[in-house]
């Protein structure tokens, strides 16, 4: 349950809290809640409209909404630009691990890229 106390070590720098360190098991326990919170931020109306009305894959709609070039996103996601292009043209269905990588590169929760 989330009512349990989490063991956290605070590391100070110049007399101010700089880092919070917790046991890995604790992090793994709360991680789904953090992801759910991130996903709860939703999808902007503009991204939804482009996806639904123009039949544009979510990866492309998000990338263009954020003003990121395809080349820059491919570099940030450590993938080939032609592979990203195929995903954005809906020529291939990306694997979940690819969506996770793209979500991380875009600063999103993977749920925000899942169709």
Residue 31 and residue 69 in one domain: no
Give per-residue pLDDT as tens, 45-73: 899 999 999 999 999 999 999 999 999 99
Residue 77 and residue 97 in one domain: yes
Residues of the domain holding 100: 45-112
Residue 55 and residue 90 in one domain: yes
In a domain, 99, yes or no: yes
Q: Collapse the DSSP code of 107 into the 3-class scheme (helix H, G, I; strand E, B; otherwise coil) and give the result.
A: coil
> What end-to-end distance do the CA atoms of the chain give, in Å?
31
Instruction: Give the chain's domain count.
Output: 2
46-84 per-residue burial string, b: 16 or more CB within 10 A, e: under 16: ebeebbeeeebbbbbbbbbeeeeebeebbeebebeeeeb
Residue 14 and residue 67 in one domain: no
Residue 49 and residue 101 in one domain: yes
Give per-residue pLDDT as tens, 68-107: 999 999 999 999 999 999 999 999 999 999 999 999 999 9
């Amino acid at each position: 349950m989330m009512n349990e106390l989490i063991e956290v070590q605070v590391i100070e720098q110049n007399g101010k809290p700089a880092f919070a360190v917790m046991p890995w098991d604790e992090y793994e326990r709360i991680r789904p809640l953090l992801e759910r919170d991130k996903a709860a931020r939703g999808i902007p109306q503009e991204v939804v409209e482009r996806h639904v009305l123009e039949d544009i894959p979510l990866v492309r709609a998000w990338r263009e909404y954020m003003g990121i070039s395809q080349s820059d996103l491919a570099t940030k996601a450590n993938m080939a630009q032609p592979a990203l292009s195929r995903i954005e043209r809906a020529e291939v269905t990306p694997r979940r691990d690819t969506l996770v990588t793209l979500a991380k590169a875009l600063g999103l929760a993977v749920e925000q890229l899942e169709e």
